[in-house]
């Protein structure tokens, strides 16, 4: 059985890893859909799809689970979102999400969706991690080691600090 | 003479119906342009274009006026908006709106635009109706019966409640 | 029961009318999806969506069948085409088409599709009618009277003749 | 009085220059709209908008005429093309073209369009010049000196030869 | 040497002019990239690209510097922004900006970027000028005379006042 | 060292596999960019990105090489293509291609590109394999076993036969 889990993974953090480990009990293979793949270099979406593929793949390669990291570009039309995801991703039997819109869209399309109590809390960690990076605080304990390495290689913290200045000043 | 009236109709409510009845005194035929046709399943735009076509058509079929319900997708370029509307819609002689941007765009294109004192107030009812649906309050007295039926058929209130949770939690 | 029939209707001709009359035996309501709605002023797609809505509506208003004329813009992604159509159109129970791609896409989405032996032949009449217009030959016997009137009102034959020159000369 | 002349200028050649000189008798200022501005690196559209701006500006700077070189991206919707051009360009009073589609679109929008017998023939020179470049034949006598210089600076002939191989082999 | 300076120029004001005069000491030619070229008729982006080209060109024609005013449409993908700018603009050797995101994107692409202490302050003047226009206050001393003339010709102040009403009322 | 190889992989065939095996001598990791990722269900592009990810991953998992299968959607702007690819893909040091346009674009961007004599011939096999499928001829000896399995699971041959009928009949 193959599962599907969507996130923006900005960055891939410990919460994501925990969740993947939980889902691994249920499925043989897992697709990680990388949402907002067309966005990068903003406070909310600092990392490119390629950088996020690396964080996910390098972190999960030690796990005993076949995973696929698939960028999903925004079409900005909720009504076709499920079809879009289904065409970009290897076929999957069940979707994992606690995001109410995602749950609704999969349900209206007749797909099985499962939620975990942990997911919501973990999702929120994304902005917490980025805020810590922006303020120059400690963040590495919240992110798996292989993802830390990639962020350092691309000088990711300075990128977040620089683009967050833009957000503050308007254009 | 044919008139044109643009709205998002999320949902089609009593205010819209009153306005159509007023415009019916002036014109033989009326085009209802369904704005933001590419949007659905959000707090501001919960219903699909197809669902909105049904609400409009079923509500107005008892009226002695030939009407056309035409979805208008956003091109996100104000400078070509009037041309876009003119190509999507049957030819019209006069546009009805109280939205200052819409009025300005039609005026710069040399089209006749008419306003009604009622329109503004009625326009505001859209968000009021959606808020009532979201909070589980009474809303059916604000919406024509045929539109109520369609909203119930598609389980529209639960959709609004579910996607409004997403808005609250961010992504 | 509601049916769905997609075409480009460039222009709406007798073949389309015959087909709608046949489908009328099976359904209570019929949606006519106007394909390639973003195209106009070319040899293959001379008429705007608004002009095509008028041809369809004026021709079918004498018929004892509730019809909806709904423009469908191209998204240029076959994989989401069915979802796109379903969101733009009032809900339908069965689709009518003899176009093999359309049939395939509906079937992969689990929708019922019906074909009629007549449809293919009639579809081909579109380009035959346009060729006659371009060459200044007789064409009005192939098009219902209300559609003829609209084409004459917008000076449609001269438009086809003029844009077909462009096609011949390249750009 | 300000005129508008649209072309793809792939490259800007002697025919274009002659035409601009003719139009200069009628107008005080001239906008050169650079069509298909989103295309480059193909056999039909080898040069970028920036490269085409340079060819036009450097060639015409000796002329006693105020000119503007304005890239116009394709929106792929003929129905809004005139509005799009009008918003991208400084205001103009008259358009110059012999392209039948362009003429038709401006006329339907109520704009004055003028044609010159020379224009058509000159337009055809674009592909003739590119063919000569592709085959390694003499081409510099067909292109104004300042444009020749720019094409050589960017190694334009080798670009055309290389991308034309792609066209030949399909993808 | 050719420089590149990006702005939205809504409108072109004294701060922009001062900056161009400063940059003129360093370069032989200057490209002014007109950002958000697809936007107009909003409170933040009231003027069309064509109107902004006119303000820039008419103001700078007295300057002893070759300038190019080039509209740059948003692609909404930061990762390809530098390539997009480079293809739309004549080749440039150095970019001028104090916007941290712009600086970051050019730096990651290996381009030289220079900043001036003045630029930031001047950038902020854009919204200050628009606010004054909206409130009916004095604004002409903040805008070069040729740009003032263009704004008056197109009735720009009334446009800002009208569309700012729309912003206030939502849709 | 990481390499990048772009193809449409419609389907992934023996020629692709041979090429990957050759490239494996030079690199530690290889990204397979899946071009035209937004296309499917046509004669030239029958398979979805998700189906192509599966063919690639299942075929290459026995190889001693870390591979990434990354869908690349068309932006239809050659000038930003390299940046687009670089943002979607994990960082790579060298690109492999014999397609002259791809080679040109990477070279103009200053990237190293390598070609292999085999690649051209193998590329051509894509259409040969699809033609055999369409005509009901033998094709499985041209496609690696894991890809054959996936094509059979999704009933791929009948899809090609059905959509090729559409191509033949026009629309």
Determine the distance in angstroms separating the CA of C41 from the nearest CA of chain D, rounded to an integer: 6
Count, residues in chain E: 171
Determine the distance in angstroms separating the CA of C168 from the nearest CA of chain D, rounded to an integer: 10
CB contact under 8 A, C100 and F169: yes
CATH number at residue B154: 3.40.50.620
Neighbours of A67 (CB within 10 A): 19
Is pLDDT of F93 > 70?
yes
Contacts of E49 in chain D (CB under 8 A): 70, 87-88
Q: Could you tell me which of F46, F84, F44, F85 has the C-alpha nearest to residue F68?
A: F85
Is pLDDT of A52 > 80?
yes
State the alpha helices, DSSP H only, in chain F: 14-23, 49-60, 81-88, 100-108, 117-134, 145-153, 156-169
How close are the terminal C-alpha atoms of chain B, in Å? 48
Neighbours of A131 (CB within 10 A): 14
Confidence of residue E120 (pLDDT cuts 50, 70, 90): low
Determine the distance in angstroms separating the CA of D90 from the nearest CA of chain B, rounded to an integer: 14
Is pLDDT of D170 > 60?
no
Give the pair of three-digit tokens for residue B73.
């997708």
How much is the pLDDT for B169?
45
Pairing of strands C94-96, C2-7: parallel
**Residues in A lying within 8 Å of E, measured between beta carbons:** 38-42, 48, 159, 162-163, 165-166, 169-171
Contacts of A70 in chain C (CB under 8 A): none
Q: Do chains C and A touch (3 or more CB pairs under 8 A)?
A: yes
How much is the pLDDT for C98?
82
Is pLDDT of A8 > 90?
yes
How much is the pLDDT for D32?
98
Q: Which of D74, D86, D88, D149 to mutate to test the interface with E (most CBs of E within 10 A)?
A: D88
Contacts of F42 in chain D (CB under 8 A): none
CA dist., res. B138 & res. F47, Å (int): 49
Contact call for residues B126 and B43 (beta carbons, < 8 A): no
pLDDT-above-70 percentage for chain A: 92
C57 dihedral zone (left: phi>0; alpha: psi -120 to 50; beta)? alpha
Residue ranges making up the domain that contains D55: 2-168
CA dist., res. E90 & res. D56, Å (int): 11
Contacts of A170 in chain E (CB under 8 A): 127
Q: Which subunits count as partners of chain F given 3+ CB pairs below 8 Å?
A: A, C, D, E
* SS3 of chain C: helix, strand, coil, percent, to 5: 50, 15, 35
Is pLDDT of F34 > 70?
yes
Closest-CA residue of chain E to F86: E79
CA dist., res. E43 & res. E162, Å (int): 9
Determine the distance in angstroms separating the CA of F48 from the nearest CA of chain A, rounded to an integer: 6
Give the DSSP H/E element, type plus range, for residue B49. Answer: helix B49-60
- Which one is predicted more confidently, B78 or F121? B78
CB contact under 8 A, D71 and E68: no
Confidence of residue A117 (pLDDT cuts 50, 70, 90): low
Determine the distance in angstroms separating the CA of C118 from the nearest CA of chain F, rounded to an integer: 15
Please give the full DSSP string across chain E, using - where no structure is assigned. Answer: -EEEEEE--TT--HHHHHHHHHHTTT-SEEEEEESSTT--SSSS--S-HHHHHHHHHHHHTTSSSEEEEEE----S-GGGHHHHHHHHSPP-SEEE---HHHHHHHHHTT--EE--HHHHHHHHHHHHHHHHHHTT---GGGS-HHHHHHHHHTTHHHHHHHHHHHHHH--
How much is the pLDDT for F113?
96
Is pLDDT of C2 > 90?
yes
CB contact under 8 A, D48 and E88: yes
Contacts of E82 in chain F (CB under 8 A): 83
Give the pair of three-digit tokens for residue E18.
């001062």
ipTM for this model: 0.94
Contacts of B82 in chain D (CB under 8 A): 83
Confidence of residue A170 (pLDDT cuts 50, 70, 90): very low
Q: Do chains E and D touch (3 or more CB pairs under 8 A)?
A: yes
CB contact under 8 A, D71 and E88: yes
pLDDT-above-70 percentage for chain C: 92
Q: What is the mean pLDDT of residues D103-126?
A: 82
Is pLDDT of A126 > 70?
yes
Give the DSSP H/E element, type plus range, for residue B94. Answer: strand B94-96
Q: Do chains B and A touch (3 or more CB pairs under 8 A)?
A: yes
Contact call for residues F94 and F1 (beta carbons, < 8 A): yes
How much is the pLDDT for C117?
62
Query: How many contacts (CB atoms, under 8 Å) link A and C?
Result: 25
How much is the pLDDT for D115?
85
CB contact under 8 A, A73 and F73: yes
Contacts of B77 in chain D (CB under 8 A): 84, 87
Q: What is the mean pLDDT of residues C112-137?
A: 83
Please give the full DSSP string across D39-54, using - where no structure is assigned. Answer: --SSSS--S-HHHHHH
Neighbours of D142 (CB within 10 A): 18
Determine the distance in angstroms separating the CA of A48 from the nearest CA of chain E, rounded to an integer: 8
| Cross-chain CB nearest to F49 (options A51, A54, A87) | A87
Q: Could you tell me which of F22, F97, F9, F99 has the C-alpha nearest to residue F58?
A: F9
Least confident of A52-66, B17-31, C112-126, E79-93: C112-126
Query: How many contacts (CB atoms, under 8 Å) link C and F?
Result: 35
CB contact under 8 A, C127 and F170: yes
pLDDT-above-90 percentage for chain A: 87
Determine the distance in angstroms separating the CA of A90 from the nearest CA of chain E, rounded to an integer: 26
Residue with tokens 């049939």: C103
Q: What is the mean pLDDT of residues A133-156?
A: 97
- Which one is predicted more confidently, D41 or F122? D41
Confidence of residue C41 (pLDDT cuts 50, 70, 90): very high
Which residues on neighbouring strands pair with residue A66, listed in sequence order? A29
CB contact under 8 A, E88 and D70: no
Q: How far is CA B149 from CA B63, B145, C171, D11, E65, in A?
A: 18, 6, 53, 61, 68
Instruction: Give the tens place of pLDDT for each residue, E69-101.
Output: 999 999 999 999 999 999 999 999 999 998 899
Least confident of A102-111, C120-129, F14-23, F27-36: C120-129
How much is the pLDDT for E170?
40
Is pLDDT of F2 > 50?
yes
Strands laid side by side in the E2-7 sheet: E66-71, E29-34, E2-7, E94-96, E113-114
How much is the pLDDT for F170?
41
Give the pair of three-digit tokens for residue D146.
């300042």
Determine the distance in angstroms separating the CA of F9 from the nearest CA of chain A, rounded to an integer: 14
Q: Do chains F and B touch (3 or more CB pairs under 8 A)?
A: no
Is pLDDT of D6 > 70?
yes
How much is the pLDDT for C124?
64
Q: Which subunits count as partners of chain D given 3+ CB pairs below 8 Å?
A: B, C, E, F
Give the pair of three-digit tokens for residue E26.
């360093």
How much is the pLDDT for B121?
64
Confidence of residue E138 (pLDDT cuts 50, 70, 90): very high
SS3 D145: helix
How much is the pLDDT for D165?
76
Q: What is the mean pLDDT of residues F113-137?
A: 82
Is pLDDT of E171 > 50?
no
Across all residues in chain A, what is the average pLDDT? 92
Q: Do chains B and E touch (3 or more CB pairs under 8 A)?
A: yes
Number of separate domains in chain B: 1
Which residues on neighbouring strands pair with residue E171, listed in sequence order? none
CA dist., res. C113 & res. C97, Å (int): 7
Strands laid side by side in the D113-114 sheet: D66-71, D29-34, D2-7, D94-96, D113-114
Is pLDDT of A33 > 70?
yes
How much is the pLDDT for C119?
61
Give the pair of three-digit tokens for residue A146.
């292989």
Contact call for residues B5 and B97 (beta carbons, < 8 A): yes
CB contact under 8 A, B78 and E41: yes
CB contact under 8 A, E101 and A166: yes
Instruction: Give the tens place of pLDDT for each residue, F37-76.
Output: 999 999 999 999 999 999 999 999 999 999 999 999 999 9
Q: What is the pLDDT along chain B (171 residues), one digit of tens a residue?
A: 999 999 999 999 999 999 999 999 999 999 999 999 999 999 999 999 999 999 999 999 999 999 999 999 999 999 999 999 999 999 999 999 988 999 999 999 999 999 876 665 655 689 999 999 999 999 999 999 999 999 999 999 999 999 987 655 444
Contacts of C170 in chain D (CB under 8 A): 127
Least confident of A49-58, C58-67, C96-105, D161-170: D161-170
How much is the pLDDT for E98?
83
Q: Which of E7, E72, E76, E104 to mutate to test the interface with A (most CBs of A within 10 A)?
A: E104
At residue C27, what are phi and psi to the nearest 5 degrees?
A: -125, 160
Give the pair of three-digit tokens for residue B3.
């008139």
How much is the pLDDT for F117?
62
Is pLDDT of A87 > 90?
yes
**Residues in C lying within 8 Å of D, measured between beta carbons:** 38-42, 48, 159, 162-163, 165-166, 169-171
Give the pair of three-digit tokens for residue E91.
């080749």
CB contact under 8 A, D166 and F8: no
Contacts of F166 in chain C (CB under 8 A): 99-102
- Which one is predicted more confidently, B169 or E33? E33
Contact call for residues B116 and B19 (beta carbons, < 8 A): yes
């Amino acid at each position: 059985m193959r599962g599907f889990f969507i996130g923006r993974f900005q960055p891939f953090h410990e919460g994501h890893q925990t969740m993947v480990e939980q889902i691994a009990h249920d499925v043989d293979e897992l697709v990680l859909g990388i949402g907002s793949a067309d966005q990068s270099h903003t406070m909310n979406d600092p990392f490119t799809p390629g950088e996020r593929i690396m964080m996910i793949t390098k972190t999960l390669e030690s796990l005993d689970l076949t995973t696929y990291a698939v960028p999903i570009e925004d079409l900005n039309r909720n009504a076709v979102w499920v079809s879009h995801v289904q065409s970009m991703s290897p076929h999957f039997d069940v979707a994992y999400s606690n995001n109410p819109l995602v749950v609704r869209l999969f349900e209206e399309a007749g797909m099985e969706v499962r939620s975990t109590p942990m997911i919501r809390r973990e999702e929120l960690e994304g902005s917490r991690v980025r805020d810590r990076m922006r303020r120059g605080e400690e963040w590495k304990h919240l992110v798996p080691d292989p993802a830390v390495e990639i962020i350092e290689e691309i000088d990711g913290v300075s990128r977040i600090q620089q683009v967050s200045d833009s957000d503050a000043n308007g254009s």
